[in-house]
Structures are given as structure tokens and as C-alpha cells.
A = this chain, B = another copy of it.
Amino acid sequence: MTNLHVVLIHYPVVNKNGEVIASAVTNLDLHDISRAAKTFGVRSFYVVTPLDDQRVFVDRIVGYWVKGAGAKYNPMRDEALKLISIKASLDEVVDEICADCGTRPEVVVTSARPRDRGLSYSDFHQMLKSGRPYLLALGTAWGLSEDFIAEADHILDPIVGDTDYNHLSVRSAAAIMLDRLMGCRTGTA
């Protein structure tokens, strides 16, 4: 069991005009990020939305794959999707990790935009070795709100390629982040 937890945030995030919204849950976010979390040994994967009907929606999807017909059809999905817990707010997530681990997790947020006090992947990788719990927060829609980012303990550096295009999906960004932090990098450039 590792000490890295992941949370996918649907509120507070911004839309394309920069307004704070609650985004809708995307089915494939649940599948892709839980499968990556399972591959790289993430301890738990939280999905946060304050909207009651969206929490019911997530619960139905997860239930199908963990307890319903999906568990028989594809047991590998069961293993991944049972990492998911649904919460109404970040505070609920932090409280649960605190209760489980005995320590409040440090919250590490992600942003596609470079920041002054950015945390590098190598530094975060080293910090994870301390054993204390960390919670990596991923934003949906056009990203986490500035107020949410300002309250975090750390801001992880954005993922950049050799181009000036940085519009990865949250599914792709999550996969790359977990590989950089937890992947077996033997023989890799």
C-alpha cells in the first residue's frame, strides 16, 4: 500500500470563460484514471462532486463494474473501479484519509499553467518516500479554480512536450503524472 491518493475534482473548476462551475462527471475519466491508479499502486481514488445526482451517477457506474454484471464480464475493471470513493467535497476526502492514516494529507494540485512555486516531479517523487500521505488533486473542465489552487500545499509542475501545445485531457495528464511519480523507469530515457 502506498501513500499516494488521487482525487478528481468536479467543483470548484472553471469553464472556458474562467467562470467557476460544477462540471459533469465523464464515464471514461472513472475507468481510465482508476486503471492507471491501480497500475501504479495508488492507494485510493476519490471522485468529488457536490451534486447529489452526479454522485448517484458515479455510484451506479462503479456498482455495475464492482458488484453488477460488469464484474463478471471483466474482473479487471472490478479491481480498478473498487479504488473509487465518491465524496461531496475535498474536506470529506481529507477527513477520511486523516482518519485512515492518522495524518492529514498534504494536497498537491495540478495546473496546465506554469507557476512561481511549482513542485517538480523529482521533488514530489522524493517526498513520497517519506511515507506521509499525499493527495494529488486533478481538475476537470478547464481546470481547478484559482481559489482552490491557492489553498493547496503544493502546485505540481505542468506537463510539457517539445511544443507550445499543452491541452492534454485529464485522463492523459493523470496517466503521465502517475508514470512519472510511480512508474518503473528502468531503461527509460
The answer to whether B180 and A179 touch across the interface, beta carbons within 8 angstroms, is yes
Residue of B at shortest CB range from A77?
Answer: B167
Q: A175 near B: Cβ within 8 Å? A: yes
Q: A16 near B: Cβ within 8 Å? A: yes
The answer to whether B171 and A169 touch across the interface, beta carbons within 8 angstroms, is yes
Q: A162 near B: Cβ within 8 Å? A: yes
State how many residues of chain A have any CB contact under 8 Å with chain B.
50
- What 1/0 flags go to A146-168 for Cβ under 8 Å of B? 00000000000101111101111
Q: Which residues of B contact A163 (CB under 8 A)?
A: 38-41
- What 1/0 flags go to A88-127 for Cβ under 8 Å of B? 0000000000000000000000000000000011110110
- Of B38, B122, B171, B179, the residue contacting A179 (CB under 8 A) is B179
Contact flag A172-B35 (CB < 8 Å), given A79-B165, A183-B159, A189-B180: yes
The answer to whether A168 and B36 touch across the interface, beta carbons within 8 angstroms, is yes
Q: Other than the known A16-B74, A35-B169, A36-B168, what 4 A-B pairs have Cβ atoms closer than 8 Å?
A: A122-B189, A123-B187, A161-B183, A172-B172
- What 1/0 flags go to A63-87 for Cβ under 8 Å of B? 0000000000010110110000000
27 sampled A-B residue pairs with Cβ under 8 A: A28-B28, A32-B168, A35-B167, A35-B172, A36-B168, A38-B165, A39-B159, A39-B165, A39-B166, A39-B168, A41-B161, A76-B165, A77-B167, A79-B165, A121-B188, A122-B188, A122-B189, A125-B189, A157-B187, A159-B179, A159-B183, A160-B183, A168-B175, A169-B171, A175-B175, A175-B176, A180-B189
Q: A51 near B: Cβ within 8 Å? A: no
Chain B min CB distance to A127 (Å) = 11
